Amino acid sequence: MIEWQDDGIVLHRRAHGEDAAIVQILTQNHGRHVGLARGAQSRRTRGTYEPGTVVQAVWRARLAEHLGHFTCEPVAHPVAAFFSNPGRLAALNAATAVLAAALPERVPHPAVYDGTRTLLDHLGSEHWAEIYVQWEVALLADLGFALDFSACAGGGNDRLAYVSPRTGRAVSLAAGEPYKDRLLPLPGFLIRADSGGPEAVGQGLRLTEHFLARHVFAPTDAEVPAARRRLRERFTAAGATV
C-alpha cells in the first residue's frame, strides 16, 4: 500500500456513481493528482470537494500507477466568500480550470501551488483582477514560456507598450508604432506600479490567453477552458460589471 499526505487545492470534481467523485487536486509536493473520493457528492462532504477549496489530502493506492483514493479535510473555502461577487468567483473558476487543463499529472510544481495559494488569499483585495493576470504570467514562466518585459525587443529605449505575439518580448511605443495592429498591448501594471483598471486587466487577460493558447493548449489540440474565456469576456465586453 502506498500512502502520502499533502496540502492541496481542489481543481475539479466529476461525479462517479451515486455518491463518489473523481477529483483533481493540485498538491504542494505531488503536483496535480487524481483520485477517487468516496462520499464526495454527499450533502455533508460536498463542500470539501468544491473547486478552489484548500484541503489536507491523503492519497492511498495499492500500486503507484493506480487511480487511488483521496480522503480530504477542508482547510479553507474561498468560494464561499465570493458567491455574491461574480467577478471574483469567475477568477476562481478560471484559475482552477486552467490548472486542471494545463498541468501535467503527478509532476510537482511547488511554485505554482504557492502562487495559487497567494492568488486565493488576494482574490478579496481591491486589485484582485490585476493579481490574477500576474498569476498567469508566473504560471507561463513555470511551464517554460516566460514572457520578457525587461527591454524592447527592437532596441527602443522609450516606454514599453506592446508585446510581440510571436516571441513574448516587450516592444517600445516608438518601435512598435508601425506594427501596433499586429502587437499585443502591454498593460502598465505588469511593468510598473500602476493601479490597472478594467481596460488594462482586459489587455492583460488577452495577452496571457494568447500565450496559454499557443504554448500550453495548442500543442495537445486543446482549447483555452471555457471558464477562462468567460473571465476575459467580463473585462472586454462593453459595460460589463466585473
Check whether 101 has a pLDDT greater than 80: yes
61 in helix, strand or coil?
strand
Q: How confident is the model at residue 197 (pLDDT cuts 50, 70, 90)?
A: very high
State the residue range of the domain holding 93: 80-149+186-236
Same domain, yes or no: 103 and 200? yes
Q: Tell me the per-residue pLDDT of 21-74, one tens digit each, with 9 for 90 and over.
A: 999 999 999 999 999 999 888 888 889 999 999 999 999 999 888 999 999 999
Closest CA to 91 of 115, 120, 117, 66: 120
Q: In this structure, is residue 70 part of a structural domain?
A: yes
Closest CA to 27 of 125, 150, 144, 110: 110
Q: Tell me the per-residue pLDDT of 116-130, one tens digit each, with 9 for 90 and over.
A: 999 999 999 999 999
CATH of the domain at 39: 2.40.50.140
Q: In this structure, is residue 173 part of a structural domain?
A: no
Among the three residues 17, 43, 76, which one is the final residue of a domain in this structure?
76
Alpha helices in the chain (DSSP H): 86-102, 110-122, 128-142, 173-176, 198-211, 226-236
Same domain, yes or no: 19 and 47? yes
- Decide: 55 and 25 in contact? Cβ < 8 Å: yes
Same domain, yes or no: 6 and 123? no
Q: Which three cell numbers stand for residue 66?
A: 493506480
Q: Which three cell numbers stand for residue 106?
A: 503527478
- CA-CA distance, 204 to 82, in Å (whole number)? 22
Same domain, yes or no: 220 and 111? yes
Same domain, yes or no: 88 and 114? yes
Same domain, yes or no: 127 and 38? no
Among the three residues 57, 76, 95, which one is the final residue of a domain in this structure?
76
Higher pLDDT, 2 or 64: 2
Which residues lie below 8 Å from residue 132, measured CB to CB, with a gap of 6+? 91, 94, 95, 119, 123, 201, 231
Same domain, yes or no: 7 and 118? no
- Decide: 65 and 138 in contact? Cβ < 8 Å: no
* Cα end-to-end distance, the chain, whole Å: 48
Same domain, yes or no: 144 and 193? yes
